[in-house]
């Protein structure tokens, strides 16, 4: 009898925690099951965000999808697959598209964005950065089983291949081949692996 009561309490607590977690991301276009979220979570434009099952994140995650900026209009999308683990203090921003496929591990303080404030032209440099138009060089895609190291920066227009490893503090400005290790600023391929599967 005591065992049944303990299981019932455990299941009730699990259900309450799942409901509490889901509220942190209420408004997502799609939200999977089995969330494990440390609060606070800072969000903008969740109607443009899809998150798969078994998503886990540390505290102070920022997910920001901008449908508009000043007079500009966008159709952004942030798509996060199943079994994705994002540690604390990460920032994901989109005006175009950011896709994080299944089973990706992202360490703390990682910045992923498909856009920037302006195009770095002489005319735009004369106004404050916050007032510059947002510009995207293209979507960001992170392939399944990729591992993004601490304080890495993933810039617009980059595709990270399946199973790739991004070294700590790397600044990724170009596509990363599947099953490779990159590091540095700008990130360069240190090693590529041939898989047998």
Catalytic residue positions, numbered: 117
**Per-residue b/e over 130-148, b at no fewer than 16 CB within 10 Å?**
eebebbbeebbbbbbbbbb
How many Å separate Cα 166 from the centre of its chain? 14
CA distance 197 to 191: 18
């Amino acid at each position: 009898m005591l065992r049944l009561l303990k299981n019932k309490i455990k299941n009730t607590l699990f259900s309450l925690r799942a409901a509490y977690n889901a509220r942190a991301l209420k408004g997502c276009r799609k939200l999977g099951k089995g969330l494990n979220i440390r609060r606070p979570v800072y969000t903008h434009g969740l109607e443009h965000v899809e998150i798969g099952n078994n998503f886990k994140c540390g505290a102070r995650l920022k997910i920001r999808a901008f449908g508009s900026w000043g007079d500009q209009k966008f159709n952004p999308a942030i798509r996060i697959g199943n079994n994705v683990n994002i540690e604390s203090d990460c920032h994901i921003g989109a005006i175009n598209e950011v896709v994080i496929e299944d089973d990706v591990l992202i360490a703390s303080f990682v910045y992923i964005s498909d856009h920037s404030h302006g195009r770095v032209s002489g005319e735009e440099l004369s106004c404050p950065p916050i007032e510059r138009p947002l510009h995207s060089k293209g979507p960001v895609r992170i392939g399944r089983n990729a591992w993004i190291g601490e304080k890495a920066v993933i810039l617009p227009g980059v595709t990270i291949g399946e199973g790739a490893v991004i070294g700590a503090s790397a600044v990724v400005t170009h596509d990363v081949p599947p099953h490779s290790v990159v590091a540095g600023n700008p990130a360069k391929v240190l090693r590529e692996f041939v898989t047998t599967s």
